[in-house]
Amino acid sequence: MLTNKNEPITKDRPEKDNKKIARTRRQRGYHWEDTLVKRFNALEGWKGFRLGSPSVGLPDILAVSTKNSTIFTIEAKSGTTNSLVVPFDQIERCLKWTSTFELYNTRKVVFAFKFLSKKRIGLGLYEKRELREYYKVWDKSNRITDFACNYDGNTYSLVDGKREKLDLEDYEMPFVSKNVKTLAKTK
């Protein structure tokens, strides 16, 4: 099929779609990070900082309370899918940062997951669902692998392409969030 010289070739359209999707995903991530930083900064005795782009090898957020001798490194994940994945290198860099600041009595690596109120069911297609937030704290005794958090709040490791249950503790953040879901503890 012949096309006008000024018209884009149809093969380029999926690339444009992919770029738009990637930009939307990054914007959601930045907005979630910004929301978390604002929540910390609204608290007396806390300061939150976005540390920059992922390419610089820093955690998404550093939250500090000198009053409480507490420091958190936070990786924030936000999305419209049923599962949000954290790559192992992001866990490693968060652990490295928390171990560096030995002056703080409480040093935690926290993963902040936000499942948006719309679930993606196709390219540009969504269905409504409940907004959910989970805050999970990393246990240093866990083997460091990629891991994921599901919409129901359960976590699992991804090892050699297989899912293995990973029990990460729900963490109660110092700020109030109306839409936090916590799992019932079954022991």
Q: What is the percent of the chain where pLDDT is above 70?
A: 78
Alpha helices for 42-135 (secondary structure H): 88-100
Q: Is pLDDT above 80 for 178?
A: no
Please provide the average confidence, as pLDDT, over all residues in the chain: 84
Predicted TM-score (pTM) of this structure: 0.81
Domains of the chain: 20-170 (3.40.1350.10)
Q: Is pLDDT above 50 for 31?
A: yes
| Alpha carbons within 13 A on the beta-carbon side of 112 | 26
Q: Element (H or E) spanning 85, and its range?
A: strand 83-86
| Alpha carbons within 13 A on the beta-carbon side of 42 | 10
pLDDT digits (tens, 9 = 90+) for 110-142: 999 999 888 877 777 888 999 999 999 999 999
Alpha carbon 127 to its chain's center: 21
The answer to whether 73 and 110 are in contact (CB under 8 A) is yes
51 or 23, greater pLDDT:
51
